[in-house]
C-alpha cells in the first residue's frame, strides 16, 4: 500500500491512503537508513501496517521537520506579537536556502492595519508575495485559500501569531486549538505540539508548532547568497565570496544605493550576517 505520512507521535506514523488513515510503525532495517518525515510518500504493508520504504523527496525542511513541501506560508501578526522584519528576513533566507518558495501572510489586521502599506511595499520590491488577513473579519481568507489549492503548504510562525485561527477560518472543520498571547512574556503560548498535515483542495496544509527563535546554522557566505533579493544579484559581484559590505564592485551595495533593495532589508541583512558561521 502507498500513502502520505500526515503526522507522527513517538514511533507511530499516521498514513493517509485512499481516504483512510492507518497507524503504522517502521521496519527495523528502515530505522538505520534514515528518518521518516511528515510529508513523506511511503509504501507500507497492508496486514500489520509497517512502513517498508520512503519514496524520493523533492524538498526537505529540518525545522519544522517536514518533506515534499511546495511552499512555505510565513505567518506574522501585526500585533501581539509585533511584526518583526528581522524574523521575516531570517525565515525568508531559510526558505531560499532550502529552495522552497515562500509567501508572507500578515494576520490580525483588525487590531492594527497602520503598518500594512509599508510592509507590503518593502516585500513587493523584493518580489515576495504578501497578503493581509483577519480571522475575525475574514479579510483575505478567500485569497489565501486560492494560494493553497493543489499544493502542500507549511504554515510557519511564532507562537501567538494566529496560525491556528487562520487555519480554522480556512476550514472550520480543522478545529485547531488556539493559543493565547502572553503580554507578560511577550510571546504566545504553544498549542500545536507536532507537525500535522491537513487535507485541503487536492493538497495539504501543514500546521506546525510555534517557535520563539530560529538558528539558521548557515555560513556568512550562504547568508550573502540566499538573503531575499540577493539570490541573482550576488552572481554579478566582482568577488565570488562577496559579503556585500565594503567590497569592490558589489552589486548588492549598488542596488541598495539605487533603492532597488530597501534599506531596511540591507540593515537586517547586516544583523543576520553577525549570526553566520565563518566561511
End position of a domain, from candidates 12, 39, 54 = 54
| Angstrom distance (rounded) from CA 177 to CA 192 | 7
- Asked whether residue 14 falls in the same domain as residue 71, the answer is no
Place of cell 492594527: 112
Q: Reply yes or no: is the peptide bond before residue 148 cis, omega within 30 of 0.
A: no
Domain count, the chain: 3
| Angstrom distance (rounded) from CA 28 to CA 126 | 47
Q: Among residues 157, 61, 67, which one has the least CA distance to residue 165? A: 157
| Angstrom distance (rounded) from CA 15 to CA 268 | 41
- Asked whether residue 182 falls in the same domain as residue 72, the answer is yes
- Asked whether residue 167 falls in the same domain as residue 75, the answer is yes
Whether 278 is in a domain gets the answer no
- Asked whether residue 96 falls in the same domain as residue 66, the answer is yes
N- to C-terminal Cα distance for the chain?
46
Span 40-84, pLDDT tens digits? 999 999 989 999 999 999 999 988 899 999 999 999 999 888 999
Q: Among residues 232, 236, 264, which one has the least CA distance to residue 250? A: 236
Q: Is the pTM of this model over 0.75?
A: yes
- Asked whether residue 127 falls in the same domain as residue 202, the answer is yes
Q: How confident is the model at residue 159 (pLDDT cuts 50, 70, 90)?
A: confident
- Asked whether residue 65 falls in the same domain as residue 197, the answer is yes
- The pLDDT score that the predictor gives to residue 112 is 73
CATH number for the domain that contains residue 16: 2.40.50.140
- Asked whether residue 251 falls in the same domain as residue 134, the answer is no
- For 9-36, what is the mean pLDDT? 87
Q: Please give the residue range of the domain that contains residue 233.
A: 220-273
* pLDDT above 90 as % of the chain: 71
Say if residue 176's pLDDT is above 70. Answer: no
- Dihedral, CA atoms, 222, 77, 190, 57, nearest 10 degrees? -40
- The pLDDT score that the predictor gives to residue 236 is 95
Whether 146 is in a domain gets the answer yes
| Burial (CB count within 10 angstroms: exposed 0-12, middle 13-18, buried 19+), residue 20 | exposed
| Angstrom distance (rounded) from CA 69 to CA 102 | 11
Residue 68 has a CB neighbour count (10 Å cut-off) of 21
Amino acid at each position: 500500500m502507498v500513502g502520505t505520512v500526515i503526522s507522527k507521535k513517538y514511533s507511530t506514523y499516521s498514513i493517509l491512503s485512499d481516504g483512510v488513515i492507518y497507524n503504522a510503525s517502521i521496519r527495523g532495517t528502515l530505522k538505520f537508513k534514515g528518518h521518516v518525515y511528515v510529508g513523506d510518500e511511503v509504501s507500507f504493508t497492508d496486514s500489520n501496517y509497517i512502513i517498508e520504504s520512503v519514496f524520493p523527496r523533492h524538498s526537505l525542511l529540518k525545522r519544522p521537520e517536514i518533506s515534499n513541501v511546495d511552499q512555505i506560508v510565513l505567518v506574522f501578526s501585526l500585533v501581539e506579537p509585533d511584526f518583526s522584519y528581522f524574523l521575516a528576513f531570517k525565515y525568508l533566507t531559510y526558505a531560499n536556502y532550502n529552495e522552497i518558495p515562500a509567501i508572507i501572510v500578515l494576520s490580525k489586521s483588525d487590531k492594527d492595519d497602520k503598518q500594512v502599506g509599508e510592509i507590503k511595499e518593502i516585500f513587493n520590491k523584493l518580489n515576495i508575495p504578501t497578503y493581509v488577513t483577519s480571522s475575525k473579519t475574514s479579510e483575505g481568507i478567500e485569497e489565501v485559500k486560492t494560494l493553497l489549492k493543489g499544493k502542500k503548504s507549511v504554515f510557519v510562525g511564532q507562537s501567538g501569531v494566529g496560525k491556528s485561527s487562520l487555519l480554522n477560518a480556512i476550514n472550520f472543520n480543522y478545529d485547531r486549538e488556539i493559543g493565547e498571547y502572553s503580554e507578560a512574556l511577550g510571546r504566545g503560548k504553544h498549542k500545536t505540539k507536532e507537525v500535522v498535515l491537513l487535507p485541503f483542495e487536492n493538497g495539504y496544509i501543514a500546521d506546525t508548532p510555534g517557535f520563539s527563535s530560529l538558528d539558521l546554522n548557515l555560513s556568512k557566505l550562504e547568508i550573502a547568497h540566499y538573503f531575499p533579493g540577493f539570490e541573482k544579484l550576488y552572481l554579478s559581484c566582482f568577488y565570488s565570496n562577496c559579503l556585500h559590505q565594503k567590497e569592490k564592485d558589489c552589486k548588492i551595495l549598488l542596488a541598495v544605493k539605487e533603492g532597488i533593495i530597501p534599506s531596511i532589508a540591507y540593515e537586517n541583512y547586516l544583523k543576520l550576517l553577525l549570526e553566520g558561521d565563518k566561511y
